[in-house]
Structure 1
């Protein structure tokens, strides 16, 4: 059974290089203790006096304080300053304990406490100058300048590290913001695609099922009295259901990632307007198509929207009115294409309104392309739908 340390990844984190977190702090404390102790022992071998217990206490305090340097950088820098300030006057073997103060200064500067680090460095230099007053030599002056340069370099390096960390954090934040923006954009596109598919399914199913309903009603009424008309109606039902399945397959195909043969039927558009009107005519509605202007290729979205508007308008005629004829007008002029559908019937009471779901769907299609759509009773009776779509 694995030990908790191994299960939690503690040993793996401890052996990671370079070390991080508390393991790095522990290694820092042990390294400073080892360096300071070896430097003291090296001086003791030269027949110098042994370091008193107070010196060892200051060494342990200064080195141990480094464990807390990340959480309390200024306090640790102050503790190491006091410890080293007491250590050097009270002990004969000097050693390298001042390294702990340099590390604490670097940490304070790297954590953003530049002013505090500078003040503590100034106090250290002032205390050093005060302790050496009256008997300074050129060598001691040079050592003092070297100490000043050392402190300045340590604080400067800490400031550079601080700025680099801030830059990296800012870069990471920008990357996260950009990633969130990409995720939001992907979700927005996915929602738009779902809405597009839902709209397509609504138009396909609404149109073809309406035709099937009309033809089934005709077949039931003519099954005994006019069997030939019932046969025609059933043939129309078969074709309408086939068209429904084909268009549903094409629409839902974008949701599946399977290897299927590419559809051979062209996508819905004004080029298939004759097929659409023929299916409506099979339901008993006479449809006439009028083209104004020179036909031209349309953008795919505009072509599909024009087709669906005609489809939905004719579906409303068969479902909601007693019209016997309808006119589909397609106009090509300038930078727009116009689509109009007019019928000669009267809406059945309570079945058609300008705020119905079908009309809202047509209006949404037109607006999504920057166009307009108007629907309402015609000047000579019947119902009129007129859309203007930009090219």
Structure 2
């Protein structure tokens, strides 16, 4: 309830201005009837008839206050001129008779965009009214009317400065809130985009790997079915296992997108611990593989471990689909800070679609995805044809996760 009442003057500013104008006009007209009687002693006043001129000037000054927000400079000039005219008619200059000019001084300090004008104009207006009062009656120099007039000018300037500071402060808070909201929205969109890209890479690697194996196993089974039916059944059993593994990994990946299944158990994230199983699955398709490990194997961060597994998987999948050879070599080299992975298909011609970057319309995003994976964990990847033939994919991955920017700044 209190908050609603505090907002009422702002919502009904025109009604407030009308009430202020009527009150100031009435008070100025009434104050013009009272004047100190210096001959009768201190505190005595003389009651004079109401002055029609004072009423007209006060009404004009009060009426112009209705436009004090739109034209504060012009309103201050008119109200000050009306106050000077009232003083020129022989009436005492006080906070009551010059009330409209004081309200205008407050308004120009609050609503004028020029800060210098906002500070200087009220002082000039107060000085003009004070000089008018001195010209009308110089002695006594410090009478109550002049003291209140000077004090009112200072208070009006102080209130205007406080109002301007509060308005600027609220505007700054509003701007900061909007900036924070936009930043949160942009950050949320960026995180959604990164998550979509991560899931797209996972789905690509899963589908490409298992579909390549399934295609090779199905082709082999079709060939053996005509020549060696007993071996064809074994190959078909392997094909069933390949498709089952593909379905399990797809379920685990897609399950991340379902909020209702967030507590459901998922398959463990693959890594180099499953490298032997990965190589075995390729060997079943007829691909001859050799694995060499140099250095002391060390554990990787979960992200780097998954990246290493997926890069080897995608590289061998490309060998199965594109390379004109049935042999490939996988090398793991552990150093103090890095794990270097090389997947090479020695000999044989490499089809044109595999050289360089793949064509996104026909060959998918294999090499692009491998490079994105390596960069996401702080590594880098190189892929290209070997001078002696074949194709090689080499990536270097950090054995420790990269430090966040804040931590790096603190160590400098």
Distance (Å, rounded) in 2 between the aligned partners of 1:171 and 1:241: 57
Residue in structure 2 matched with residue 103 of structure 1 by the alignment: 103
Structure 1 residues 76 and 34, CA, compared in 2 at 3 Å: closer, same or farther? same
**How does 1:194-209 map onto structure 2 within 5 Å?**
194-209=196-211
Deviates more, 1:272-281 or 1:344-353: 344-353
**CA 1:390 to 1:22, structure 2 compared with 1: closer, same or farther past 3 Å?**
closer
| Structure 1 residue aligned with 2:407 | none
1:41 Cα deviation after fit? 5.1
CA–CA separation in structure 2 for the residues paired with 1:83 and 1:129: 17
- The 5 Å alignment of 1:177-256 reads 177-256=179-258
- The question of 1:375 aligning with 2:380 is answered no
Aligned equivalent of 2:76? 77
The match for 2:126 is: 121
Match of 1:58 in 2: 57
The change in CA–CA distance for 1:153 and 1:42 in structure 2 (over 3 A counts) is closer
Instruction: For residue 265 of structure 2, give the secondary structure of its aligned residue in structure 1.
Output: coil
Compare 22-31 and 118-127 and name the one that shifted more.
22-31
Is 1:326 the counterpart of 2:328? The answer is yes
Q: Is the 8 A contact 2:93 2:129 kept in 1?
A: no
Q: Aligned pair 1:360/2:368, yes or no? A: yes
2:396 equivalent in structure 1: 388
- Residue by residue over 1:202-261, the C-alpha shift from the partner in whole angstroms, topping out at 9 and shown as x without a partner, is 111111111111112112222232223322232222222222222222223332211355
- Output the aligned Cα RMSD: 2.8
Structure 2 unaligned residues grouped into runs of 5+: 35-44, 359-364, 400-412
Shift of 1:377: 3.6
Q: What is the CA–CA distance in structure 1 between the aligned matches of 2:12 and 2:97, rounded to whole Å? A: 21
- Structure 1 residues 304 and 221: alpha-carbon distance in aligned structure 2, compared to 1, 3 A threshold: same
Partner of residue 29, structure 1: 18
Query: CA–CA distance in 2 between the matches of 1:149 and 1:42?
Result: 18
CA distances 1:271-322 after superposition (whole Å, capped 9, x unpaired): 1112211211221213232222222220122111111110011101111124
Give 1:346's match in structure 2, choosing from 339, 345, 348.
348
Distance 1:259 1:265, change over 3 A: closer
What is the rounded CA distance, in whole Å, between the counterparts of 2:302 and 2:12 in structure 1?
Answer: 63
CA distance in 2, matches of 1:91, 1:137: 16
Long gaps (5+) in structure 1: 1-14
Query: Is contact 1:32–1:99 with CA below 8 Å preserved after alignment?
Result: no
Cα 1:229–1:352 shift into 2, 3 Å: farther
- The normalised TM-score by structure 2 is 0.81
> Which piece of structure 1 moves more, 89-98 or 230-239?
89-98
The CA deviation at 1:87 is 3.3
SS of 2:261's equivalent in the other structure is coil
CA distance in 1, matches of 2:288, 2:173: 67
How far does residue 85 in structure 1 lie from its aligned partner after superposition? 2.5
Shift in alpha-carbon separation, 1:160–1:348, aligned structure 2, 3 A: closer
Structure 1 residue 73 displacement after superposition = 1.1
Question: What's the offset of the Cα at 1:156?
Answer: 2.5
Give the Cα separation in 1 of the matches to 2:280 and 2:187.
42
**Deviation for aligned residue 1:351:** 4.5
Which secondary structure does the structure 2 equivalent of 1:108 belong to?
A: helix
